[in-house]
A and B are shown apart, each in its own frame.
Chain A
């Protein structure tokens, strides 16, 4: 079963997921109504997304099967996948981090410029989780 997976340390705390999600039922932007919330730890040091949702969006922003929160996440901290695919993605991230510090701040599957990624031969277009 596909579900929304969270990579906590990639979350930059922008609250796009929360803000969009909250508006999908009645058009009102109000984070308290969202099914995904971002916990912002005092001192700015951590931002932790907490999900209470199956990923079947009431009204997805894009017609491509991605939940809205996943589609709007800029860093790749959220992705929507089956368990096997989720494991492959996390492994991809961990290995990418060994070769380049860029992947401290963005997921490799979100990075659009292949020539800036050492060892990569082809583009990994930001299909976005």
Chain B
């Protein structure tokens, strides 16, 4: 079959309104300037979608794209999805699985989908040919039902991305799903896909990929693998993380005052409760098998599970990470692992974002506790912390996805729902830029607070993951300086010391921007791979044959951060929008002595971050000099033309 060079990048423009398809090769200099995936999407989004674009209208463009490393055994099958969020932020997310490599083998690297179909459709791509097909028989199906139906229709080998009923019903923050339990784009890519009446995308490819220098690629792979292999990684988290998994944090966090409990009114939880929803009982009673994304060197980062007994016996799901124990466990004061896993599985089946559902439920519970909402508002459901009515809670997930009764209010997301309810309920909503938080605490980890506040997509830990050093002893200050990282790691990783946080976050967002543009997986920045990017660089240059020095290889990371920032400032976001939720600004952490994020702590971190990035301290708009240094003069001009004040 057809063999492609790894560096080739092709985009298909599909218009669902008129059914047209246009094929275009990305300019080769784009691979040098933007690498692929997330950074290419940031550029395309800035160029094609603006403040006048209605996020749920035909002019919004939904991008799904891969990059030069996908389909090679280091890309982890990652791909980026991006569009303008209904919250006007950048809705960009990444997911793994097997869809990206299949696209590459089909000779397509990016899909740009605009327009709106007049009835439900799905896209079928087979070795470069695109068909828009009727999907009326799929509309309303849950994600796993859609997966099964399309595999019956198109064959077992096909790779799929789809939305559930939540996406169809334009429910807040619904992501796109694939490989049953993987999702991406929680800032609203599923909503936008639903607004286009696009139920699914199916792809089948039979081509191969050739790297520019195979010998160099194999050598680079060995060095990369050494950092991540369980037997050789110098990062003690590597084996634990890749087998037991991230729910180990529930127990650890409870001890540290990092576990958001009862809608983050408290930050600790009794040890026995945390232990009941931790990774050990999960592995013991529920896990049926390990799963991996394409080409991952880790054994069991993902797992499938099945509820072994009781009311929900036989219900199947997958993937229990650091987020689920928080949003369906401590946040709701629920230590029943059955219920946690059932809620997670149902979110995946209905196509809902777990963070939206968890934080919005916790907000509603606090509103009930404070008398702001009553049983008359909740359709009679006994909605309290501790989850006394489990069946009712499980049914509420369905009602959110289908926008029924009380579910219709929660389907708006926490921030919008709080606006509807009023009565001071905004104070209890844990969201930034209209998007709910994730699982990691802020008042004890200042870098997390800063990272969540400034993110251009709303709270998203993958922009700066992980929030602590892999192992600071592995890289000396001298080595760091030689790698262009001007940081005092010791200070940077002190949790409640505001110093160095802005500079640390800048490095994290840039380096993760590079990884997500290759694309690679930000879960794999273990050992020294998050500080020393040279193994990624050697893999990339061997695969593409592009001659770039290490400094040039890091520039796309800066470009992606600046392009995404340029996008949101053009939408009207400014410095005042870059702040943690009110609760974190106004309340100390009870019992642990961690103070609230007061302005005298938070504002200097923000200054340092903007300063390090070359952005206006007053407005957060990138300075003209910064954009010109990155070869983005046209972006500065476009901002000025749109009436944004761009400082020199």
Q: Which A positions have Cβ atoms within 8 angstroms of B? A: 9-10, 12-16, 19-20, 22-23, 27-30, 32-33, 40-47, 61-62, 72, 74-76, 101-102, 104-106, 110-113, 116, 125-128
Task: Give the A-B contact count at a CB cut-off of 8 A.
Answer: 137
Q: A74 to B292, Cβ gap below 8 A? A: yes
Q: A44 to B239, Cβ gap below 8 A? A: no
Within 8 A of A (CB), among B268-301: 283-284, 287-300
| Cα A104 to Cα B231 with chains together (Å) | 19
Q: Is B209's beta carbon under 8 Å from chain A?
A: yes
Taking chain A's interface residues, is the majority helix, strand, or loop, or is none over half, making it mixed? loop
Q: A30 to B1, Cβ gap below 8 A? A: yes
Could you say which residues of chain A place their CB within 8 Å of the CB of B287? Answer: 101, 104-105
Q: B284 to A101, Cβ gap below 8 A? A: yes
Q: B3 to A42, Cβ gap below 8 A? A: no
| Cα A74 to Cα B518 with chains together (Å) | 22
Q: B3 to A74, Cβ gap below 8 A? A: no
Could you say which residues of chain A place their CB within 8 Å of the CB of B300? Answer: 12, 75, 105-106
Q: Is B513's beta carbon under 8 Å from chain A?
A: no
Q: Is B26's beta carbon under 8 Å from chain A?
A: no
Q: How far is the CB of B427 from chain A (nearest CB, A)?
A: 42
Could you say which residues of chain B place their CB within 8 Å of the CB of A112? Answer: 230-231, 239
Could you say which residues of chain A place their CB within 8 Å of the CB of B318? Answer: 44
Q: How many chain B residues have a CB neighbour from A under 8 Å?
A: 55
| Cα A31 to Cα B295 with chains together (Å) | 12
Q: A104 to B208, Cβ gap below 8 A? A: no
Q: B299 to A16, Cβ gap below 8 A? A: no
| Cα A16 to Cα B229 with chains together (Å) | 13
Interface string of B291-323 (1 = CB under 8 A from A): 111111111101110000000000000100000
Contacts A30-B1, A40-B156, A105-B243 given; does A9 touch B295 at CB 8 Å? no
Could you say which residues of chain A place their CB within 8 Å of the CB of B289? Answer: 9, 12, 45-46, 104-105
Cβ contact of B292, chosen from A12, A46, A113, cutoff 8 A: A12
| Cα A129 to Cα B299 with chains together (Å) | 14
Q: What residue in chain A is nearest B150 (Cβ atoms)? A: A42
Could you say which residues of chain A place their CB within 8 Å of the CB of B210? Answer: 27-29
Cβ contact of A14, chosen from B208, B222, B230, B293, cutoff 8 A: B293
Could you say which residues of chain A place their CB within 8 Å of the CB of B181? Answer: 44
Could you say which residues of chain A place their CB within 8 Å of the CB of B180? Answer: 43-44
Could you say which residues of chain B place their CB within 8 Å of the CB of A46? Answer: 289
Contacts A14-B296, A111-B230 given; does A30 touch B208 at CB 8 Å? yes
- Extra A-B contacts (9), CB below 8 Å, given A44-B291, A105-B300: A14-B296, A29-B209, A33-B208, A41-B156, A44-B179, A74-B292, A101-B287, A105-B299, A106-B300
